[in-house]
Amino acid sequence: MASHPHAGDPVFDLHVGGKMEILSTAALTGPEELSLAYTPGVARVCEAIAADPSMTQHYTWVPNTVAVVTDGTAVLGLGDIGPAAAMPVMEGKAVLFKQFGGVDAVPICLDTTDVEEIIETVVRLAPSFGGINLEDISAPRCFEIEARLKERLDIPVFHDDQHGTAVVALAALTNALRLTGRDAATVRVVVQGAGAAGVAVARILLEAGIKDIAVLDRQGVLNSERSDLTEVKAALARDTADHFGRRGTLADVMAGADVYIGVSGGQVPEEIVASMAADAIIFGLANPTPEVHPDLAHKYARVVATGRSDFPNQINNVLAFPGIFRGAFDVHATAITEGMKVAAATALAELVGDALSEEMIIPSPFDPRVPGAVRDAVAAAARADGVARR
């Protein structure tokens, strides 16, 4: 290995030359193989696809390949670091797709933050891919980009920062509610953070039958009394806090709350944590510093989860997105529906089974059953929702 500026640092050593390569599935050992894989043989396959574009599903890698697309504006906890600096993360995401879902993935870092340019670029690239995974694009732009791409494309479009987080959080919460004897219809939930993850978490909780949800941004609870809300936040306010008259600050809504889900990166004072209901459930998902550190959370809560791998109950998106795309690809789905996301969460929750405990409300990313369970549940839900093409 040639020396590099950070030689000897194991993280940098692993990244030398990147984390990916392209491998051929066709052996080219002589002229006969070359004539089959390339000219003249390949022309017959091209003609077949030209006559019937659905043949792409049989004779190219397209139906098993996802584009991992970012503009570098919301990368991990690093923020807007630009497309070049985002590439190591997108490579990592692509490696996770392959390792955990058997899905090929190509990292694409776009040198634009313009909503229209991103949408048009992805639409132009779409014929090369079976699905689009949007990654690390800042809110609120990410909502419009995803919604409009879903309208224009007949392949799955999935913003993992939103929906991957939401699926795994719902799976973990399903088991936490079971463990603490709570019912989805009556539980009181506080979601701190109204960016990509916060909005998606609240939406999937509504889909799963949870009704009493207060979502907060930096100015407080989202409700229709506020005049400063974006269209996305205003719609969420109508579906959440408005129904129960929730308003005010975090302190106002945390008093007596059963569940706290943090996707904000802020810090919750101890006296506010202490005001929650007995046997509370606390998910502090900001990385690397949870909104409520587990040591503090355990003083007042029965079930605690974070986004970190060094504490029990890690809410890790890798539990969801590889299996979701694998299941969608297996049935040639035209979209990823709310039903498919909830099915993925249910499958993840059920894998815990009899091992359910305060320290085990979600499977490990390395549980070999995870990708298959999510895949099968998503494929079945795609058929039930009428978006499967085979």
Whether 175 has a binding-site annotation, put simply, is no
Residue 312, CA distances (Å) to 156, 345, 356 in order: 32, 18, 12
Whether 135 has a binding-site annotation, put simply, is yes
Q: Cα 292 to chain center, whole Å?
A: 22
- Pair 268, 246: CB distance under 8 Å: no
From the number of C-beta atoms within 10 Å of its C-beta (0-12, 13-18, 19+), residue 5 rates as exposed
Whether 217 has a binding-site annotation, put simply, is no
Q: Cα 275 to chain center, whole Å?
A: 31
Query: Residues near 168 by Cβ (< 8 Å), separated by ≥ 6?
Result: 315, 316, 317, 319, 320, 345, 348, 362
Task: Indicate which residue of 19, 38, 98, 341 is catalytic.
Answer: 38
Query: Residues near 106 by Cβ (< 8 Å), separated by ≥ 6?
Result: 65, 66, 67, 68, 94, 129
Q: Which residue has the tokens 């904000």?
A: 264
Amino acid letter at 155?
A: I
Q: Which two tokens stand for residue 127?
A: 């014929």
Whether 279 has a binding-site annotation, put simply, is no
The SS3 assignment for 100 reads helix
- Is the four-CA dihedral 20, 21, 25, 29 of positive or negative sign? negative
Task: Indicate which residue of 93, 150, 233, 341 is catalytic.
Answer: 93
Whether 133 has a binding-site annotation, put simply, is no
Amino acid letter at 370?
A: V
Could you tell me the end-to-end alpha-carbon distance of the chain, in angstroms, rounded to an integer? 47
DSSP 259-326: EEEE-S-----HHHHTTSPTTEEEEE--SSS-SS-HHHHHHHEEEEEES-TTSSSB--GGGTHHHHHH
Residue 38 known to be catalytic: yes
Torsion of CA 88, 90, 92, 98, to 10 degrees: -150
Catalytic residues: 38, 93
| Known binding-site positions for (S)-malate | 287, 316
- Binding site for a divalent metal cation: what residues are annotated? 135-136, 161
